[in-house]
Amino acid sequence: VQLQASGGGLVQAGDSLRLSCTASGRLFSAYGMGWFRQAPEKEREFVAAISRNGGSTSYEDSVKGRFTISRDNAKNTVFLQMNSLESEDTAVYYCAASDSVGPSAAKSGERYYTYWGQGTQVTVSS
């Protein structure tokens, strides 16, 4: 599967952005999906994940209540709605797909994800 992320940009603290990641290739509903991010000079970290059937989600603690992951299997797309953005959210955001998880699993570990998109830059000015 190939992943194409989009929707990043430069915003001010408190603003919102919605990232999209569109997949091509195999049946999209066969993949658990995740969002990760990497800030300058930092390790890549988990942000959010959603199960194959969309029924389960998981979030990194700092984004809980501000970010929402969702998916539209008919459109082969996963979304990350980011509200109340903070300067600490500045990073390159990557979407990733896993074909090794069950239908209700929303995994946070990078080791579960085989396919990665190219990343989209999110910059939040304070």
Lowest mean pLDDT among 28-32, 38-42, 53-57, 100-104: 100-104
Cα distance between residue 78 and residue 82, in whole Å: 13
Is there a contact between 5 and 117 (Cβ–Cβ < 8 Å)?
yes
Q: In this predicted model, what pLDDT tens digit does every residue of 49-106 receive, in sequence order?
A: 999 999 999 999 999 999 999 999 999 999 999 999 999 999 999 999 999 988 899 9
pLDDT band at 25 (very low <50, low <70, confident <90, very high): confident
Task: Give the C-alpha separation, 9 to 75, whole Å.
Answer: 23
pLDDT band at residue 18 using 50, 70 and 90 as cut-offs? very high
Residue 99 is predicted with a pLDDT of 93
